[in-house]
């Protein structure tokens, strides 16, 4: 393995982690109340979020993989890939709450004027945590469970508008 191969691997991993941080910032900007509910749920009941995420993730991922192996045509294989990718994206969307939770634990003076900063700080810390092979799937599963809780709680509290928008 030469230096170019090493740089390729390192830069691909860094680029992927930057995409994760960007996704978390986008989720916090587009759906602030859902991300806030995910952060609250991950703070109050992380084990419950993990178990609900596990119950949701295992059938979706197993079904997508099984469908891909069984399907003989292109639309079936495409549907299986879409099922797996959407499950992973939903888990990443739920981990935006985890990024917000971590960022709130690292307060700064500018947070009152720039509400996206806690998500950025927490996202950077969470991206560093994602370098661990063990904590990546655990946090993704917990994030999926938090998203399920965040979406279930949405019906009782109304639409997902930014705070202060009336």
Listed in sequence order, the DSSP H helices in 31-73 are 32-44, 46-70
The angle at the Cα of 150, spanning 17 to 25, to the nearest 5 degrees, equals: 30
Q: SS3 for 164?
A: coil
- Where along the chain do its domains lie? 48-152
Residue with tokens 């009941």: 45
Listed in sequence order, the DSSP H helices in the chain are 3-30, 32-44, 46-70, 74-104, 117-129, 135-152, 154-157
* Full pLDDT tens readout for the chain, 166 residues: 799 999 999 999 999 999 999 999 999 999 999 999 999 999 999 999 999 999 999 999 999 999 999 998 999 999 999 999 999 999 999 999 999 999 999 998 888 888 889 999 999 999 999 888 889 999 999 999 999 998 886 654 445 555 555 4
List all residues 6 or more positions away from 105 whose beta carbon is below 8 Å from its beta carbon.
122
């Amino acid at each position: 393995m030469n230096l170019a191969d090493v740089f390729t691997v390192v830069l691909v991993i860094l680029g992927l982690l930057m995409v994760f941080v960007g996704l978390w910032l986008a989720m916090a900007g587009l759906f602030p109340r859902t991300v806030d509910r995910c952060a609250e749920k991950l703070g109050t009941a992380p084990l419950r979020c993990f178990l609900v995420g596990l119950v949701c993730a295992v059938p979706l991922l197993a079904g997508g993989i099984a469908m891909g192996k069984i399907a003989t045509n292109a639309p079936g294989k495409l549907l299986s890939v879409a099922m797996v990718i959407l499950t992973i994206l939903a888990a990443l969307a739920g981990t935006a709450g985890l990024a917000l939770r971590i960022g709130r634990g690292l307060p700064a003076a500018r947070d009152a004027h720039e509400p996206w900063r806690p998500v950025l700080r927490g996202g950077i810390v969470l991206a560093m945590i994602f370098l661990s092979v063990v904590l990546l799937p655990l946090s993704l599963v917990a994030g999926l469970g938090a998203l399920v809780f965040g979406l279930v709680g949405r019906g009782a509290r109304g639409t997902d508008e930014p705070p202060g928008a009336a």
